[in-house]
């Protein structure tokens, strides 16, 4: 099936309506909930963060069946868009409040989804803190505890290693490696950061998508480290590779299409390099 794009998909989802607006059956309610969560997801991934937040807040407020998977997906996306809007404390609260003991089975997909959302929220909080001192690449003291919290969660998630990875597991693997790479980068643990960035590239190749924004931004991040450590030849090689595969920004991984390219771009400028991530406006 050909990819129809977000706009037609949203139009189709708008058609999902109950037969009788005054008397909605449990099945219709479940279908409407799923449709709204999917709409919020599409809005999130297309950068319409305010629209997604408004919709997902309504969805989360209407949930009456916590055993379904929709709540954890809605909450994870809501946490993410709050973070993208700079409301990271609210994003942390959304993810954290639904990780209470007994709400989901230990290490279930729902629990892992929310733990990843919480780690991403902490990491974005750290990014906002780092952004406040740009172009310096030395994180303020108040960023260290936040980075440690994100790191602990991500390392726990990284230990999950099922015999057979689903597509969702493979994509989550990219997110986990990316988070650990950025954390090590911000902590100035450059060797570790480069190793995790290599893991990002390896994990993304397992997902079956064409190389594009994620890979270009990863290579760009690696080039910053190599310019900082004076390995100019390898840094320039990664820059050329990044430019050759760059596509428009992707908002799939929290902060990676918004804050992180701004941070990396400011670092590159300080190092006398041109930014790799172009404006899409």
- 215-231: per-residue pLDDT in tens? 999 999 999 999 999 99
Rounded Cα distance, 169 and 243, in Å: 28
CATH architecture label of 1-16+26-103: Alpha Horseshoe (1.25)
SS3 of residue 223 by DSSP:
helix
Band of residue 101 on the pLDDT scale cut at 50, 70, 90? low
Q: Is the dihedral of CA 58, 78, 131, 48 positive or negative?
A: negative
CA distances from 251 to 39, 81, 123 (A): 15, 10, 15
Task: Determine the Cα angle at 130 with ends 230 and 54, to 5°.
Answer: 135
Band of residue 7 on the pLDDT scale cut at 50, 70, 90? low
Per-residue pLDDT, 186: 97
Per-residue pLDDT, 257: 94
Per-residue pLDDT, 217: 96
Q: Which helix (H) or strand (E) holds 268?
A: helix 259-270
Out of 30-39, 155-164, 220-229, the most confident range is: 220-229
pTM of the model: 0.86
Number of Cβ within 10 Å of residue 4's Cβ equals: 10
Domain boundaries, the chain: 1-16+26-103
Band of residue 162 on the pLDDT scale cut at 50, 70, 90? confident
Render the burial of 112-142: b for 16+ CB within 10 Å, e for the rest: bbbbbbbbbbbbbbbbbbbeeeeeebebeee
Per-residue pLDDT, 10: 47
- Are the beta carbons of 137 and 193 closer than 8 angstroms? no
Residue (of 11, 24, 3, 84) closest to 252 by Cα position:
84
**Is the peptide bond between 135 and the residue preceding it cis, with omega within 30 degrees of 0?**
yes
Percent of the chain with pLDDT over 90: 65
pLDDT exceeds 50 at position 236: yes
Task: Read off the pLDDT of residues 186-217 as tens digits, 9 standing for 90 and up.
Answer: 999 999 999 999 999 999 999 989 899 999 99
Per-residue pLDDT, 279: 47
Mean pLDDT of the 108-133 span: 95
Which has more pLDDT, 275 or 137?
137
Which has more pLDDT, 219 or 9?
219
Mean pLDDT of the 33-56 span: 93
Residue (of 52, 42, 51) closest to 3 by Cα position:
42
Q: Which helix (H) or strand (E) holds 122?
A: helix 109-131
Mean pLDDT of the 35-41 span: 91
């Amino acid at each position: 099936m050909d990819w129809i794009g977000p706009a037609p998909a949203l139009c189709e989802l708008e058609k999902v309506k109950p037969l009788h607006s005054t008397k909605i059956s449990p099945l219709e309610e479940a279908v409407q909930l799923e449709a709204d969560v999917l709409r919020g997801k599409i809005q999130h991934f297309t950068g319409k963060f305010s629209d997604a937040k408004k919709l997902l807040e309504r969805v989360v407020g209407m949930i009456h069946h916590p055993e379904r998977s929709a709540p954890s997906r809605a909450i994870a996306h809501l946490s993410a868009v709050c973070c993208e809007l700079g409301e990271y404390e609210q994003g942390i609260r959304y993810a954290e409040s639904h990780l209470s003991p007994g709400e989901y089975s230990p290490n279930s997909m729902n629990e892992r989804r929310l733990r990843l959302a919480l780690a991403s929220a902490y990491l974005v909080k750290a990014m906002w803190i780092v952004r406040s001192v740009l172009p310096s690449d030395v994180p303020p003291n108040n960023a260290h505890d936040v980075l440690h919290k994100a790191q602990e969660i991500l390392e726990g998630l990284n230990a999950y290693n099922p015999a057979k990875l689903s597509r969702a597991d493979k994509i989550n693997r990219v997110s986990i490696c990316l988070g650990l790479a950025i954390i090590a980068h911000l902590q100035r643990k450059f060797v570790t950061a480069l190793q995790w960035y290599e893991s990002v590239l390896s994990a993304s190749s397992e997902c079956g998508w064409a190389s594009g924004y994620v890979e270009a931004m990863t290579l760009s991040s690696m080039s910053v480290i190599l310019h900082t450590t004076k390995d100019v030849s390898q840094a320039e090689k990664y820059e050329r590779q990044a430019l050759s595969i760059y596509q428009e920004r992707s908002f799939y991984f929290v902060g990676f299409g918004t804050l992180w390219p701004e941070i990396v771009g400011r670092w590159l400028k300080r190092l006398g390099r041109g930014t790799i991530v172009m404006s899409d406006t």
